[in-house]
Amino acid sequence: MYKTKKIAHSLSLLGLATCIGLSSSSLTAGVLSVNASAQSSYAKTKYPLLFTHGMFGFSRVGVAEFGLDYWYQILPDLARNGATTFAAQISPLESTEVRGEQLLQQVEEVLAITGKPKVNLIGHSHGGPTIRYVEAVKPQYVASLTGVGATFRGSKVADDLLSNQASSQLLSIATDYIIGPLITFAEGNPALKSDLHASLTSISEQGSQVFNQKYPTTALAADCSKSGATSNNGIYYYSWTGTSQVTNVIDVADSAISLLAPISYISTDNDGLVARCSTHFGKVIRDNYDWNHLDEVNQVLGLRGLFSPDPVDVYRQHANRLKLQGL
């Protein structure tokens, strides 16, 4: 019976991939290198850029010709401007330490591919603490850390979900056995496991406090009224975030999730999922972009507020900032 169910599960995933135009032979596991013909050296950093996704994230589902990047249109633009860019492929739902160990392996893979001794790590949402883990255990690999809408001090949304045991159990079943496996299959790495409870625990305010005590950093100030260190032992720290919720009424996915933080915090001083304070890390580039949590990675499909800054431009400018810093 178990074997039959397992075969049926695999066939259902294969069927989904076929429906959306993917083939298992075109999907590959491991760090994703994004290449393009360089038209300038504006974003040509000394060390490669490795991007790390957040919860429910992925590097790319599908293939270059027909697929969707988590960092929508961002990495190809950087490559056209001279950057060496990679997207990490780690569990969409797991603890910070499990994701961090997965990322560490891909950091070493990037170092081997490029021949460089260090990388610039950029993490969105749960990707923020994940890149922090790599610095904590292998600081010699890291040139800089950049958090984007990152859960450095956690999100109360996670605490509230965990406190509702019945809801969190139902969500765990849906995510651990359906959504998570579909994401990892679609990006070509079904071996990656999903654990919603571990993920929520890690990004909760309580779980984040435990992580920060275990892996302290000078980039996080004692409280949000103060500023953290902008560098330490040659490693530079940066962050930015948005503080909007519904930015485009056509973007239904954005609008739906962006109501969670205002309910949890009873405040709009957040990007819909993460409070402004939680994202402050090192040199804060800006903490009030007219973006919500998905706008920060140019999702969904580039839909955002009519007059809001283009995230693609912001990442390109940041790569130039790293370049000028000698990173």
Alpha carbons 289 and 306: distance in angstroms, whole number: 13
Catalytic one among 91, 125, 204, 239?
125
Q: Which of 271, 278, 280, 295 is catalytic?
A: 271
List 126, 280, 293, 318, catalytic entry: 293
**CA-to-CA distance for 144 and 17, rounded, in angstroms?**
36
* Cis, peptide link before residue 300, omega less than 30° from 0: yes
Cα separation, 193 vs 262, in Å, equals 30
Q: Does residue 254 carry a catalytic annotation? A: no
293 catalytic? Reply is yes
The residues near 166 (Cβ < 8 Å, ≥ 6 apart) are none
CB-CB neighbours of 257 under 10 Å = 17
Q: How far apart are CA 128 and CA 52, in angstroms?
A: 8
Closest-CA residue to 220 (of 231, 229, 210) = 229
Which residue bears the tokens 């958090």? 147
Nearest CA to 229 out of 103, 319, 144 is that of 144
Tokens 């298992």 -> residue: 24
Which candidate, 59, 13, 70, places its Cα nearest to that of 32? 59
The answer to whether residues 290 and 242 touch, using CB atoms and an 8 Å cutoff, is yes
Active site residue 77: no
For the annotated catalytic residues, the residue numbers are: 125, 271, 293
